[in-house]
Amino acid sequence: MRLSLSCLMKPVLHGYYRSSCSWRVRIAFALKGMEYDQVPVNLVRDGGQQLTTRFKALNPMQQVPAVTIDGFTLSQSLAIIQYIEETRPEPHLLPSEPKTRAQVRMICDIIASGIQPLQNLYVLLKIGEEKIHWGQHFIQRGFEAEAPFASPLQPWSLFWYRQLGNIVLEMRYPWLTFA
């Protein structure tokens, strides 16, 4: 098997220290035991460094995180994490049993697609004065939708520190801790 030089280079994470999406990727790197370099992208300073022409060339959505890995750049935390899982399979972030794996992916999608965009800085700035009430309403709605699916997996959650579900759920469920 031939490895290209790009596969031997450390990934580069372009992220913001307060971004939960960037944290998901950091946690995945840590669980996989992967070293990586970081390039900070301040979402507030200078009107938002993610809005620069330079960052837009890296990620046209102008959001964090973006990861340069294996010679190309990915954005969107779940896509990044799934790529890492597929190209560096050990240790596993997803359970091996298909039904449980699908449930974990469903919970991740509820949070990453149904809740996360609604509490995104860009979205909240567009809402105006009602942003806190509006954001809380939709976040609560998403958590209520996700809870029945997570509850049956509760006994299994002790093992989620090695699972994709824990990466996404880490801010929702404080009792899930990383060993």
Query: In the predicted model, what is the mean pLDDT of residues 161-172?
Result: 49
Examine the pLDDT at 162 and tell me if it is beyond 70: no
How many Cα atoms within 13 Å fall on the side-chain side of residue 85?
A: 21
Q: Find all residues with CB under 8 Å of 143, minimum gap 6, and list them.
A: 115, 172
pLDDT in tens, 102-133: 877 887 888 787 777 766 777 777 777 887 78
When pLDDT is averaged across residues 17-44 and rounded to a whole number, the result is 92
Statement: residue 26 has pLDDT above 70 = yes
Measured CA to CA, the distance from residue 92 to residue 115 in angstroms comes to 25
**Does the predicted TM-score (pTM) go above 0.85?**
no
Better-predicted residue by pLDDT, 178 or 165 = 165
Contacts of residues 69-76 at CB distance under 8 Å and 24 or more positions apart, as own/partner, are 69/11, 69/12, 70/4, 70/6, 70/7, 70/11, 71/4, 71/6, 71/7, 76/21
Tokens of 168: 């996404």
Better pLDDT: 142 or 54: 54
pLDDT band of residue 171 (cuts 50, 70, 90) is very low
**Quick one: CA torsion of 70, 73, 77, 80, rounded to 10 degrees?**
-20
Q: 50-63 pLDDT, tens per residue?
A: 999 999 999 999 99
Which carries the bigger pLDDT value, residue 144 or residue 43? 43
- pLDDT the model gives residue 83: 96
